[in-house]
Structure 1
Amino acid sequence: MALDAALVKAFTPTGVLRASINLGNPILAKAGPPGGDPTGVSVDLARAFAGRLGVPVEFVVFDTAGKSVQAVSDDKADIGFFAIDPLRGASIAFTAAYVLIEGCYLVRDSSPITRNEEVDKAGVTVTVGLGSAYDLYLSRELQHASIVRAPSSPTVVETFVAQNIDVAAGVKQQLELDAKKHTGLRLLPGRFMVIQQAMGTPKTRGEVAAKALHLFVEEMKATGFVAGALVEHKIEGASVAPAT
C-alpha cells in the first residue's frame, strides 16, 4: 500500500498520528504502567499504521467509547478504534471490521429471564455503558424495556448491582470478568449482537484517506497481524473479522 506525501499529510496534519484509544473495552486496549503507553490490539494497530506513514504516534486515551468517538469526530484525533454504528458514521469513515466481539446479557440467578428474547418486555430495565456500541444498538432495538446508562462500560455491572437493575448488557468478556466479583449472577446463553470493531478516521480527511485506512486493515487481517495480536495479548472470545 503506497502512501504518498499528500496522504501522510491528510492523516497527520500535526505531524504526529494521534490515535484515540478507548480503555473501556479491555479486549482492545488496557492502561499501561504509570506514565507509559496503553497496550492492546488497537494500540498495536496504531503503532503499525504510524510506522507505515513514517511518523510518530501519540495515544489520546479515554475511559469510554463515546469520548473516544468524539475526539475523532471533532478532529482532535486522526484515527480511532470503534464499533461500527450508523450514528457514528455521520462524521467518521469506518474501515471494515478487524475484530468481532459478542454483546451479551447478564442477569441474577433468581431472574425469570432465561433467553435474550425475553429481555425486551415492559417493566424490564437494562443497564448499558453510556455511548457504547450496545447502548446505540439497544437504544434503537429495544421497544418495551427501559435503559439505564452507567457512566462507562467497566461500571455496568457495578451499576446493575447497586441499583438492582434487571439486566446488564455489554461485551461478553467484560461481563464475565466483572461477574466474578459477585455471586448469584449468570450470562444468558448466546448473544444479542455481534460488535464489529473497526478503525476510523474523520470524514474530513477525504475519501482517499478512508480507502487507504481500509486497505491497511485488510492487509493486517490477511497477514495474520490481527490474529497474532489477539494471541499476544491473551484475548479470548474475539475473532478476526473476515476479509472484505
Structure 2
Amino acid sequence: MSTPSSLVQEFAPTGKLRASLNLGNPVLAHSKTATEKPAGVTIDLSREFARELGVDVELLQFDTAARSVAALASGEADIGFMAIDPLRAETTHFTPPYVQIEGFYLVRDDSPIKSNSDVDRAGIRIVMGAGSAYGLYLTRHVRHAELVQVPTSEAVVDAMLERGLEVAAGVKQGLQADARRVGGVRLLDERFMVINQAMAMPKTRSRQAADFLDDFVGRMTRGGFVADALARHAIVGAKVAAD
C-alpha cells in the first residue's frame, strides 16, 4: 500500500528524506563489515523508511549527538536517531525505542574507584560529551561530583588522561574501544544507565505522522529488521528493544 501523499509531504517536504545521523555513536552509525561509508543500523533504517515513503534519502552526517539533534530542531533534517530524553522530548516526538545501549564509567587502572557508588562524591570530576544523552542524564542525577564537558564523546578519555581527571563517562562500546587504544584504563563493572535509542521527528507534525513513524519502528523491531542489521554490521553490546 502506498503512503498517503500528505504524510510524504510532512516527512519529505523537499522531495527527499533528510536523515540526521550521529556518527559519533559506535553502535548506531558504524559497521564492522561494510566498506561503504556511512553504514550501520541507522543508515539502514533511513533507507528503508525512505523506500516506504517512495522518496530518495539524503544522509546528513554529524560527529556529535548535539549537532544531530540541532539539525532536526532547526528543520535542516526531517528525521533523526537519538536517545530518548525528557529535555529533548519537550520539542521532539520519539518513537518507542528500537535499540538499547548502556552508559558506563571508565577510570585509570590504579584508580581507587571500584564501583559506581564511588563516583558521585565530592572531589570527583566526570568527563562527558556535551549534549550527549548520557551527559543529560548525569546532569540530572549527579549530586556531588563535578561534571566536565568536552566537545565530543570521542574526546572524553583523552581529556581524562591529559587533564588528570578521575572518571570518563560514555557509551560502553566507545569506552571499550578507547581502552584498547590507550591502555592503562578500565571500565567499572556495572552500567549507570540504559540508553533507549529511538527515531525522532519534530512535535509540530501531525498525529498521523507520529503514528506512522511509531508503526514503522515497531515493525522494524518486531519483524527482525533491526536485529538483522546489527548482526550484518557485526555490532555487539546493543540489545533490540522489546515492545
What does residue 183 of structure 2 align with?
183
Task: Tell me how far 1:211 sits from its aligned partner.
Answer: 1.2
Residue 12 of structure 1: how far off its partner (Å): 0.7
- Residue number in structure 2 paired with 1:211: 211
1:17-70 deviation digits (Å, cap 9, x = unpaired): 000000110111139xxxx65111000000000000000000111000001001
Match of 1:10 in 2: 10
TM-score (norm 2): 0.96
Residue equivalent to 1:193: 193
Q: Which residue of structure 2 lines up, in the alignment, with residue 117 of structure 1?
A: 117
How far off is 1:141 after superposition?
Answer: 0.3
Query: Greater CA deviation, 202-211 or 20-29?
Result: 202-211
Contact 1:102-1:171 at 8 Å conserved across structures: yes
Structure 1 contact 37–59 (Cα < 8 Å) conserved: no
Corresponding residue of 2:46 = 46
Aligned amino acid, residue 56 of structure 1: D
The whole-number CA distance in structure 1 between the counterparts of 2:128 and 2:167 is 9
Where 1:196 maps in the other structure, the secondary structure is strand
Per the alignment, residue 151 of structure 1 pairs with 151
Percentage of pairs with the same residue: 54
Report the residue type matching 1:124 in the other structure: I
Q: Partners in 1 of 2:103 and 2:197 — Cα distance?
A: 12
Instruction: Show the counterpart of 1:137.
Output: 137
Runs ≥4 in structure 1, deviation > 6 angstroms?
none
- Greater displacement, 152-161 / 1-10: 1-10
Query: Per-residue deviation at 1:2?
Result: 6.0
Q: Paired residue for 1:63?
A: 63
The 3-state SS of whatever aligns with 1:204 is coil
Cα distance in structure 2, aligned partners of 1:2 and 1:153:
40
Code of the residue aligned with 1:97 in structure 2: it is P
Does the CA-based 8 Å contact 1:126-1:148 persist in structure 2?
A: yes
Tell whether the 8 Å contact from 1:16 to 1:57 is kept in structure 2 after alignment. Answer: yes
Distance in 2 separating the partners of 1:19 and 1:117: 39
Q: What are the Cα deviations for residues 73-112 of structure 1, in whole angstroms up to 9, with x where unaligned?
A: 1111000000000111111100010000010000011111
Task: Report the Cα distance in structure 2 between the residues aligned to 1:134 and 1:86, rounded to whole angstroms.
Answer: 12
Structure 1 residue 117, shift from structure 2 partner: 1.5
Q: Which residue of 1 aligns with 2:227?
A: 227
Q: In structure 1, how many angstroms separate the alpha carbons of the residues matched to 2:215 and 2:143?
A: 38
Deviation at 1:123, TM superposition (A): 0.5
CA contact (8 A) 1:103 1:192 kept: yes
> 1:29 aligned to 2:29?
yes
Please, which moves more after superposition, 48-57 or 160-169?
160-169
The alignment's TM-score, normalised by the length of structure 1, stands at 0.95
Distance 1:2-1:138 versus aligned 2 partners, 3 A rule: farther
Instruction: Note the residue ranges of structure 1 that are not aligned, 5 or more in a row.
Output: none
Once the two structures are TM-superposed, the CA of residue 213 in structure 1 deviates from its matched residue by 0.5
Amino acid at match of 1:228: D
Q: CA RMSD in A?
A: 1.4
Structure-2 residue corresponding to 1:93: 93
Distance 2:218 2:150 in 1: 34
Alpha-carbon distance between aligned partners in 2 of 1:157 and 1:57, rounded to the nearest angstrom:
34
Equivalent in the alignment of 2:72: 72
Deviations 1:97-152 (A, max 9, x none): 00000100000111111111111001000001110001100000000000111210
